[in-house]
Chains A and B, each alone.
Chain A
Amino acid sequence: MKDAEIMAKNPNRPLSPHLQVYRWSPQMAISIFHRATGFILATVGMITLLWWLSAIGGGAESYATFQKYVVSAGDSATGFETAVNWFFRLLGLAVTFSFFQHLASGIRHLVLDIGAGYELKANRTWASAAFIAAFFATAFVVLFVASRFLGV
């Protein structure tokens, strides 16, 4: 039997310290956020992009359907339609934040790739800055959408 197999059969063997023993820092958070936001963009984000494009290509009626779900269900909507609309709005918010978060931390990655920004303080500062930039960019888009589409 291989060593790995013997070890797998003994659940009481000591484990090396893992996530739970570390105090979370912006540098750690931004790493997993980059992956999580990338996953959201690659699934919900890309499908929404295709839905939007094909709704434009499909004509006025199909675009109205897209708007009904994603933008506003309208005043005559049933409670269920309004709930579905809010679900899609939340997805839209998640995709918007994911886009800016992935963009900001992606630019940070490109800077790290040239070998810059590894000093502890600088690394921490730019990790926090990426979160703050994504937050404000998302807030800007929410205000833009609210003023242009929802008459807020």
Chain B
Amino acid sequence: MDLMPQTADSSNRSDPSSERSTLASIRRLHPYVRTALPRLIGGLVASLGASLMALSIPAVLRWVTDGPLTQGARDHDWSGLIWSVVLVAVLGAGEAGLILLRRTLVMFPGTRVEAGMRMALFRHLQDLPVAFHDRWPGGQLLSRIMGDLGLLRRWLVFGVLQLVVSFVTIVVGVGLLVATGGWLGIIFLCGSIPVTILAFRFSSKYRKISRLSQDQSGDLATTVEESVHGIRVLKAFGRGPDALDQFTDQAEGLRETELRKATTDAGLTTALRVIPEVTQGIALVVGTYLVASGDMTLGTLVAFFATAQVINGPVVDLGMTLSMTLNARTAVDRFFEVTDTVNPLTDPATPADVPAVTPGQAAQAGGHVAFRDVTFRYDDAARPVLDHVDLELPPGTTTALVGLTGSGKSTLAMLPPRLFDVTEGVVEVDGVDVRDMTRAQVRERVAVAFEDPTLFSASVRDNVLLGVSDTLPGAEREALLTQALEIAQAQFVAGLPDGVDTRIGEEGMSLSGGQRQRLALARAIAARPRVLVLDDPLSALDVTTEEAVTARLRDVLVATTTLVIAHRPSTVALADRVAVLQGGRITAVGTHHDLLASDPHYRYIISSLEDDYEAHEHEHEHDREHGPDERDKQNEGALS
């Protein structure tokens, strides 16, 4: 897997796209912009036309007053005036019309391209595996899909046109000056050299700051997100003020970056104002001298300054459009950084030919799951979590997976539904390597109830029926819902204000832990999978409820192959057999009673009988003497 590590610390984030030129970066937009190009070009033409008309109106006014009107006043001829009025009116309406046209032409491409790119990014993010999402903070992704794409939209609608129009006006204007202005034109051209150099130096400097600023915004969004998700902890410890301090530091960092950006921008603005104006000041002195000496006509001097005035505006605007363009470029880079991430967990080119399953339709028989010599190592970890694991889950059996906290039980549970892929070895469902099936095929067969019950702010119904096919008839869906809620002992739902249609808050935060867990359990049951993976599904339930759920679950699980992660005997009671996970390997498989008799490690994990307590106390003495690292060994020794 090659997933870019992302930390909250922006400084050590590398910028792999820094080598690319701005043009090359922006050219990558081509597939997204292609269909919008004709409209964009149309908008550009309209924009240039409007600029031309705006420029021509003063000239026409001067011509009208000097020509037809002066003439007409002499001859008392009114037709000249009428024609002039009509002409100016046509030009004026034309300018407004062209601007209207430009606006109308570019607003669709701008917003559509943004929406298209947003969907592409979203689709890619949904496709990327859980491992990617574990590493990329939500705020960073959010700032890319909202902030960056918004920047890009504004650039497509305003920036790119303005950039081209300014550029064309400047090039044409300078060309005119050089062609007609003689020495003055050459002076002006000299002035444009430092401007060009400065603009380039500005670009490379500004780009870096712009990147930093956009990354920092993302980190800030992450902090905000966490401060809300973790608000209970912050409140419970009264750490609101500390969180505020930390947030302030981060916001302060962003502010400083923004100020640095503004300082760079200010430098360019000053240069873009001062250099052309100073050049024109020199041209003024030289020109006046040339006119006085008779080497230049007054008309040429006046024409030079009239044209120079026209260029000044776009030159000053250039600073703004340039920074806008550079920000857009950073946005493009940050966008592609995510979409370029290769998905290591993909569907096979030719999926195995397995019979279709309709989720929600009761499976006749459970699936057969086998872990064959499975090794799993997280990308950035030195040691594998699972080390050559062999385990069979025969159809229709319920196996409890038991092991100490952190022994890799949950990791193992993520393998059958392909939320992670094995590093080595094979996981088979019904004799087929899960990697030979599409993710959809696998996940139709395998349903999971996570230890963290992830609920969505939707109705109870939608949350529970999450894994049930939408194509099932309504009555069947209702039946599944009712039954799943009943099995999970989630009758509390009936007492909610709108029953199963009650919307539950963000991540189900408004429900208690036990209520959330029962909904998550109901969700896994409702999917009616061939294989059910339950990650410590009863941990937050009280004894009575747990008993009731266990009794009902055992009925339901008769046909379903189930892997249940268990921390305590009451959960193990669900299972026909127990597998013990220790040191990344399955060290024992057997019934609860057999293992209790034969396996000291199992006894240590699961038992809470008084003798074991005493053995434990004894081991605790050793703890103090020999240090906790020996705890396990000591304990096993004491028990066996």
Q: A and B: partners?
A: no
Using CB atoms and an 8 Å cutoff, list the residues of chain B in contact with chain A. none
